[in-house]
Structure 1
């Protein structure tokens, strides 16, 4: 006797209906109590912790290792496929029992890293009285798309940020370096570009070797027993560099950092053991022993584009939710479920009903995902539409011009006008430029 679960691999949308069938093969008549299917979903984290303890016998400190864990149940319910009241005989023959169940809304996406997992599955049990039960288990993936239409409009407006520092040498101030950065918005979907406009003003005697920008993902994993701890992993999904600016110079940059369409962006908003966040980080690398200048923007990643961002230049349509779950990589080993089997129904007095064909299955009730030739994801507006009268002049640039107006012949020369060429004092900057 054997039993085996067959169902679509998915991923299945959170809140949608899931269908499958259980195939039971009896070589002879068997007495059973019932056939049931358990649907479960849980998240778990675990790693080894350590503590220092003083041993009174050896009069020495010793390191004691112990497991740290976190567990949380997400869903757990049962479906009775056959029987359940008293005992009955079944077989011989092959019997198919279709099943359908509804996933709760707002489930976190399936996920796995080196510290734990979020996992969903079904377990079938043929209950045999006074003997070993027949069982089968199968895991399936759940995708929970993030809808940017639920985000406030502030996430789709330009944001400005600035920073400055005084460069010193042997306790003597050499001048100020300033960064003024505008980002086009703070909420994106995979496949879009993060657009940055930056003004770098160098009023010091040091060169800025290069400017870099990168897109980072941070995943925090937490344990709760016997005490709370967390670990954070970071993943770099995009990195670009540009040439810097010489002493007493200024440069402006139009930057674009792509959001990779096939990178893993799971929805962990409803998870209690995992957190995920994203940053765009900009760094100005200052020559010499000076510390660099760093600025960052926290951004949100969703899967369903905001309606205000749809326009005349859409990205290629995204079918299904493939961008949410890329192929398995060493950094993100996603669980692999069993393949779908062809329909087999050999009949019999107690056989289950015919397994429904895909065309007869109800459509998922979860949020729609952009599909079709007339919809999709679009790039955000460029800076000419955001600033129709021209880009705003940075505060650092205005300060520099004010300083130049007070310069005299015995003072430091003013910065040269901004051109496409590098300043004279930074002739070798081109060797640092990376495309």
Structure 2
């Protein structure tokens, strides 16, 4: 019997299926040897790459993110063999920050893999792979931009094929969020102001995805635009000069990819609101709005901030700088010194006026002191402060 490897030999801790950029991937490699066999090394390889395809070229664009090998076992001699039975090896690897999420289409893909290799002396190396699914993420600045995004008001002219300008239709939409989450429901509230001479009969909302594929020289060779979701409202009537609110419920599929912008591939989404009017040969009015799609698991969790009132020390004598600097250790802006007594000497110096008949301390007396007096430069620096 021979040793065989399958993706099931690689297990992630907790059966974790999705990982975030910068997260540590932990898992276990399990091998079931039917008999004793010689082995040179057992290697666990982590790699991430992106490819685009164009006109039959499998690598029109290529980008390398990481490629790291870790030895789980290494034979010290050629006589080393693995005994029959079950063997387990643990592995850990930290994903790089700012990597794009996993993606696949017929024009290109971004994939992250963990590859297990068992190297045997004089025989073919046995390999297997398991996919590491990386979800899309946002940095702090992009997240703040999403939160501060406001709803916009759109206005387009209604043109008739035979009668020219027929007026304008004003449209304003405000979403529950400034982003969409796969598998979640979102409510699209639309405010339509009909200033045309036509009657609005139908409003339709569509979600479109735009993917651009680039070569390694940053030349866009393919742009793929496809419709992901469509929701139509019931038949309605908005007469000329009338305003009305229209609501649509959108539920995104769980398999939808998040928005990202990488070196050789970009994925973006936009909502298309189509307003149909009555009349002969009257075209529809389309409003396109850019929208972001992010994974729920990567939404930052708000951290409650407890704001405690700041307590400032009372200064009785303005000339005593020590009352300002030598405050309680719980104060945030208090200076930190390893030796508190030394800090008192530096920030709150005390000078004794010696009389003429009094002599300064001798060198032996200075050595007997617990802490030496501050230097001249330290005193001047404390005065300047």
Within the candidate set 78, 82, 103, 1:87 is matched to 78
Shift of 1:90: 0.7
Of the candidates 32, 35, 47, which is equivalent to residue 40 of structure 1?
Answer: 47
Inter-CA distance 40–68: structure 2 relative to 1 (3 Å threshold): closer
Give the whole-Å Cα distance in 2 for the aligned partners of 1:300 and 1:172: 36
How far is 1:219 from its partner? 2.9
- The equivalent residue for 1:196 is 189
Residues 1:101 and 2:102 are matched in the alignment: no
Alignment of 1:11 with 2:12, yes or no, is no
For structure 1, the 5+ residue unaligned runs are 50-65, 311-435
Number of positions where the alignment pairs a residue of Structure 1 with one of Structure 2: 289
Deviation at 1:188, TM superposition (A): 3.4
In 1, Cα distance between equivalents of 2:83 and 2:258: 45
Task: Identify the structure with bigger relative contact order (alpha carbons < 8 Å, sequence gap 6+).
Answer: 1
Pairing 1:115–2:123 present: no
Which one has a bigger Cα radius of gyration?
Answer: 2
| Two-structure CA RMSD over aligned residues (Å) | 3.3
Between the aligned partners of 1:197 and 1:164, the Cα distance in structure 2 is 15
CA spacing shift, 1:282–1:306, aligned 2, 3 Å: farther
SS at 1:152's partner residue?
Answer: helix
1:180 and 1:247 map into 2 onto residues whose CA distance is 15
Label 1:306 to 1:101 Cα distance change in 2 as closer, same or farther (>3 A): closer
8 Å contact kept, 1:164–1:179? yes
Equivalent of 1:20 in 21, 24, 28 = 28
Q: Aligned-pair distance for 1:263?
A: 4.0
Instruction: Report what 1:406 is aligned to.
Output: none
Q: Does the aligned pair in 2 maintain the 1:48–1:68 contact within 8 Å?
A: no
Q: 1:300 to 1:197 in 2, by over 3 A?
A: same
Q: Please tell me whether the aligned partners of residues 33 and 128 of structure 1 are also in contact (alpha carbons under 8 angstroms).
A: yes
Structure 1 Cα separation of the partners of residues 154 and 174 of structure 2 = 11
Q: CA deviation at 1:176?
A: 0.9
- Under a length normalisation based on structure 1, what TM-score does the superposition of the two structures give? 0.57
SS in structure 1 at match of 2:147: helix
Taking the aligned partners of 1:306 and 1:34, their CA distance within structure 2 comes to 41
The alpha-carbon distance between structure 1 residues 106 and 84, as it changes in their structure 2 partners (threshold 3 A), is farther
How far apart, in 2, do the equivalents of 1:33 and 1:68 lie?
Answer: 33
Measure, in 1, the Cα distance between the counterparts of 2:19 and 2:70.
20
Structure-1 residue corresponding to 2:64: 73
TM-aligned CA deviation for residue 76 of structure 1: 0.9
CA distance in 1, matches of 2:91, 2:168: 63
Q: Deviation per CA, 1:386-415, whole angstroms, max 9, x where unpaired?
A: xxxxxxxxxxxxxxxxxxxxxxxxxxxxxx
Is the CA contact 1:45–1:222 (under 8 Å) kept in the aligned structure 2? yes
Q: Distance in 2 between matches of 1:90 and 1:78?
A: 22
* Equivalent residues of 1:43, 1:73 under 8 A apart: yes
Q: Please give the alpha-carbon distance, in whole angstroms, between the structure 2 residues aligned to 1:264 and 1:194.
A: 18
Aligned to 2:264: 273
